[in-house]
Chain A
Amino acid sequence: MQQLDFYGGLVAAFAAAGWQIIFHWLPQFIPVLSQKENKTLAWWLAAMAAIRNTLTKSQVATAFLVGLLLGRPLEGLAVGAVIELMFLGVFVVGASIPPQPYLATIMTTVFVIRAGLQTADALALVMPVAILSQTLMMAALSWNHLPLGIAKRRAEEGDFRGVDIQNTAWQVTSFSIAVNLVPAFIGGFVGVPAVQAAVQWLQTNAGWVLEGMGFLAGVLPALGFALLLYQMGTRLIGYLFLGIVAAIYLKPDPLALALAGVGLALVHMLATRREEGAPTTAVSEAPARPARELKLTDEDILAMYWRHWNLFQVASWEVLGGLGFAQTMVPVIRRFYKTKEEISAALKRHMVFYNTNPWLGAIIPGVLASMEEERANGQPVDEAAIQGVKVAMMGPFAGVGDSLFWATYIPIILAITASWAQSGNTALMWLAPITVLVVLGLSNLLIPYYFMRFGYRRGLSALQDLQQRNLLAELSTAATVVGQFVVGGLVVKLVNLQVRWAPSFFGTSPIQLQKILDSIMPSLLPLLIFFFAYWLLRRGKSAIFVMVVLMIICLVGAYPIPLPLFNNASILGKPIEPEQAKTSLLLLRQLFIG
């Protein structure tokens, strides 16, 4: 047994949640305790939340940062890319929580770099850690009933500051520390020597297992892409086949593939536009609002915006994002309500069940802020109307937001950058995490902000605007076309499986099976594996089941088969030398002729 790895544990803990505590969590207490807002600080908090969200979504960026902390960023990238492609189609939808790759990425990167392993050696650990994360997250949703109970009592007292403090205070203690920081530290501290010992044992006793894991790293992207296809549905599957053919015969770079996808989407939109469809006229200006005495300021909107990032940080089974939503509305309540009864009623009505897609759904607190403003100015808007709008919007807007942003837009960015991370070209490898942080980070920062402002400025008219422009349906269709095309192309580029076995019969030259497969069609095996994974998912099998099946295929393919024709070679492994072929022929003769 080697030394316990204190430094590895420390780095893992810092990457998992330590930085958030310093840069994101502690500064939140300034506005929350003083109840005074500052624009610069609000943008800072939103930016930190955007980075947090980008890291939890992008394994390439996370693994790169861990690698950077350990002084070997490119090795981190290699780990991140493999895990990224495994989990491409995996994200939280509503209260359904899948295995979470974030902690697994951090742990695996630390193991690979600190214990000196190959990426593939640590692959077997990814899924168990992801399932551990999932379990801890679910447990967090249970124990968050405690802060919810406290916050409910604060709401009863009409204490908006208390509600504000609760949601900010508990997000790190209940979630980041318990779910990410502690397991990461223990994992790094104890795990590194344990993993090292296990891999050494395998190397000496069962090298084929490690070899099989190496093959698995090349096959797993098929699972990620199959999950994505499953979520996008097969309505536009023609574009998937176009992407496959384009990638096989044109060999484009991933970015070119995405651009071609965008071009196809534009053509598709033009070709399918109904003549009497979306009106081409600009939407008329909103009717002039009656002058309002009481108005929200820009600071108030920003104050709502940074709080909106805490929506699901203290989620509980009972109300999911309800507590976070109440915190989001604190600046509005603070501005418009003065008596204890009013404040208490407002806090309570915003603390009930809430769940939506946090990007597109940011429009909802915007619209509600506008309605609360009308109400404060004595217009006939009652509580029931405000509740009704919120309840009616949150489910359906999650439907569009999840399929458009979670299942299409973000995975496309992740898949392209993961392929850069695997390209072996140093410049592209550095570009991968930087691109993720810039593109996904800015999307995180600006898209929800845009929707929140749009919702506030237009109020309920925002719905008419969206209906007239047919905007969401157009965006969803376009994104799906790009998604299908890019998935088709990247399956060909990134899924890697070759048969290296070359049997030789009676002393003839060995038959290169892979050459025969290539002459039928290049990339035939990767495509078969991809469609096989998709077929299993459609049969209702879980992602974990599919992963185990792929693992078994790779391990069987790597197993040295003790038969003459194989001569201790395996199906996927090293080809047989002609010399060995002769030996196997002699063996055969002895077997049959004696």
Chain B
Amino acid sequence: MAIVLVRIDDRLIHGQITTAWIADVGATRIVICSDEVANDPLQRTIVNITAPPRMPTEILTTEQTVQVAKSGVWDRERVFVLCKYPSDVLPLVRAGLDIKEINVGNVGGMTQHKGGPGKQIFKSIAVTEEDVQIFRELLQAGVKLEVRVVPRDHRVDLATLLEKV
């Protein structure tokens, strides 16, 4: 099966993930794919403390994620890839991983912490110029971008939200 869900969520493994998404996609492994998280000892520690029990959870850089995904070790697993920022997804698509659809969860809540919030285009999504560029490139690559905060929400197409920007 390999990768069953790719989600962009700057809150990482939070309540919506533990009480809804993991069960919904039947994940057997969680991969946090983010250069920032992988290189930050504090964030690594926190993910280790809070990872769901008995659920193998790895923190990889985008480069490592591409390597491992291509090596085929995930073929018998159902991997849930969780990216922190839109910029963490782009290398995966550029490297030609088989990603047809990306679930866009919480975006931009954290950019406020980095000085300057993005533009709010949906209740859980605020984007910067750079984010919009990335989303446009993903759309051009033929990836579907759907906004769903939790599995039972209505699917909203991010492309239509971007048109208003």
Do they bind each other?
A: yes
Task: Determine the residue in chain A with the shortest Cβ distance to B11.
Answer: A395
The answer to whether A318 and B12 touch (CB under 8 A), given A230-B23, A235-B54, is: no
Cβ contacts under 8 Å, A542 to chain B: 152
For residue A317, which residue of chain B has the nearest CB? Answer: B123
Is A391 part of the binding interface, using a Cβ–Cβ cutoff of 8 Å?
yes
Is B56 in the interface zone, CB < 8 Å from A?
no
B58 to chain A, nearest CB (A): 15
Q: A317: which B residues are within 8 A, CB to CB?
A: 120, 123
Tell me whether A95 and B20 are in contact (CB under 8 A): no
Q: Mark B138-159, 1 if CB is under 8 A from A, else 0.
A: 0000000000011111000000
**Residues of B55-87 whose CB lies within 8 A of A:** none
- Say whether A392 contacts B13, CB under 8 Å: no
Given A231-B19, A395-B12, A407-B19: A389 touches B49 (CB 8 Å cut-off): no
Known pairs A234-B23, A389-B42; A94 contacts B14 (CB<8 A):
yes
Interface residues on A, range: 35 or more
Flag A387-399 by CB within 8 Å of B: 1 or 0 each: 1111111111111
**Are B23 and A233 in contact (CB-based, < 8 A)?**
yes
Question: Which of B51, B113, B152 is in CB contact (< 8 Å) with A391?
Answer: B113
A93 at interface by CB-CB < 8 Å: yes
Judge whether B40 is part of the interface by a CB distance below 8 angstroms: yes
Partner of B151, one of A387, A395, A540: A540
In whole angstroms, how far apart are the Cα atoms of A94 and B23 in the complex?
17
Interface members, chain A 372-412 (any B CB < 8 Å): 387-403, 406-407
CA distance A35 to B113 in the complex (A): 28
Inter-chain contact A399/B109, CB cutoff 8 Å: no
Instruction: Decide: A93 and B112 in contact? CB cutoff 8 A.
Output: no
Q: Which residues of B contact A403 (CB under 8 A)?
A: 15, 18-19, 52
- In angstroms, how far is the closest chain B Cβ from the Cβ of A582? 51
Which residues 1-45 in B have Cβ within 8 Å of A in the complex? 9-20, 22-24, 40, 42-43, 45
- In the complex, what distance in Å separates the CA atom of A407 from the CA atom of B106? 21
Q: Which residues of A contact B106 (CB under 8 A)?
A: 94-95
Q: Decide yes or no: A399 and B18 within 8 Å by CB, A95-B124, A96-B150, A540-B151 being known contacts.
A: yes
Contact yes or no, B10 A395, CB < 8 A:
yes
Residues of A near B14 (CB, < 8 A) are: 94, 355-356, 394-396, 398-399, 402
Chain A residues with CB under 8 Å of B17's CB are 399
Interface residues of A (CB under 8 A from B): 93-96, 141, 230-231, 233-235, 317-320, 352-353, 355-357, 387-403, 406-407, 463-464, 466-467, 472-474, 476-477, 537-538, 540-543
B19–A473 CB distance below 8 A: no
- Is there contact, CB below 8 Å, between A93 and B40? no
Query: Which B residue sits closest to A230, measured CB to CB?
Result: B23
* CB atoms of B13 and A395 under 8 A apart: yes
Contact partner, A406, options B15, B117, B150, Cβ 8 Å: B15
Q: Top 8 nearest A-B pairs by Cβ distance?
A: A402-B15, A395-B11, A396-B50, A353-B109, A352-B112, A403-B18, A473-B53, A395-B14
- Please count how many residues in chain B sit with their CB below 8 Å of the partner chain's CB atoms: 42
B104 → A minimal CB distance (Å): 14
- Which residues of A have CB within 8 Å of B47? 396
Say yes or no: is B165 at the interface (Cβ < 8 Å to chain A): no
Q: How far is the CB of A307 from chain B (nearest CB, A)?
A: 21
B49 and A396 contacting across the interface, CB-CB below 8 Å = yes
Count A-B contacts at CB 8 Å: 133
A520 nearest CB across to chain B (Å): 30
User: Does B99 have its Cβ within 8 Å of any Cβ on chain A?
Assistant: no
5 A-B pairs within 8 Å (CB atoms) are namely A355-B109, A393-B46, A396-B11, A399-B52, A463-B42
Select which of B40, B49, B149 is within 8 A of A96 by beta carbon.
Answer: B149
- Contact call A472/B152, Cβ cutoff below 8 A: no
C-alpha spacing A125/B61, complex, angstroms = 51
Q: How far is the CA of A540 from the CA of B151 in the complex (A)?
A: 7
| Residues in chain A near residue B12, CB distance under 8 A | 395-396, 399
Q: State A473–B120 Cα separation when bound (angstroms).
A: 35
Nearest chain A residue, comparing its CB with the CB of B122: A317
Contact with A along B84-113 (1 / 0, CB 8 A): 000000000000000000000010011011
B11 pairs with A94, CB closer than 8 A: yes
Chain B positions near chain A (C-beta within 8 angstroms): 9-20, 22-24, 40, 42-43, 45-54, 106, 109-110, 112-113, 117, 120, 123-124, 149-153
Please, how many angstroms separate the alpha-carbon atoms of A541 and B152 in the complex? 7
Question: Of B9, B43, B49, B120, which one neighbours A466 at CB under 8 angstroms?
Answer: B49
Q: How far is the CB of B13 from chain A (nearest CB, A)?
A: 4
- Asked if A352 and B11 sit within 8 Å, CB to CB, the answer is no
A141 to B123, CA, bound (A): 10
A309 to chain B, nearest CB (A): 19
Q: How far is the CA of A472 from the CA of B51 in the complex (A)?
A: 9
Taking CB atoms, residues of chain B closer than 8 Å to A398 are 11, 14-15
Q: Tell me how far the C-beta of B4 lies from the nearest C-beta in chain A, rounded to whole angstroms.
A: 14
CA distance A468 to B45 in the complex (A): 11
- On whether the beta carbons of A353 and B110 are closer than 8 Å, the reply is yes
Q: Which of B16, B22, B49, B151 contacts A94 (CB 8 A)?
A: B16
Report whether B46 and A396 are in contact in the complex, using a CB–CB cutoff of 8 Å.
yes
Provide the bound-state CA to CA distance between A123 and B106, in Å. 35
Minimum C-beta distance from B105 to chain A (A)? 9
CA distance A355 to B108 in the complex (A): 13
**Cβ of B124: which chain A residues have Cβ within 8 Å of it?**
94-95
Q: Is the CB of B20 within 8 A of A396?
A: no
What's the Cα separation between A235 and B151 when bound, in Å?
19
Please report the C-alpha to C-alpha distance between residue A398 and residue B50 in the assembled complex, in whole angstroms. 9
Whole-angstrom distance from the CB of B158 to the nearest CB of chain A? 17
Least distance between B131 CB and chain A CB atoms (Å): 15
Give complex CA distance A466, B47 in Å.
12
Residues of chain A with a CB closer than 8 A to B19's CB = 93, 231, 402-403, 406-407
**Inter-chain contact A467/B120, CB cutoff 8 Å:** no
CB-CB under 8 A for A93 and B150, given A398-B14, A472-B49: yes
Please report the C-alpha to C-alpha distance between residue A192 and residue B108 in the assembled complex, in whole angstroms: 46
Which residue of A has the minimal Cβ distance to B55? A235
Give the shortest distance, in Å, between A12 (CB) and chain B (any CB): 30
In the complex, chain B residues whose CB is within 8 Å of the CB of A94: 11, 14-16, 106, 124, 149
Residues of A within 8 A of B53 (CB): 473-474, 476-477
Find chain A residues with CB under 8 A from B120 CB.
317-318
CA distance A357 to B11 in the complex (A): 12
Which A residue sits closest to B12, measured CB to CB? A395
CB–CB B23/A231 < 8 A: yes
- Whole-angstrom CA separation of A476 from B52 in the bound complex: 8
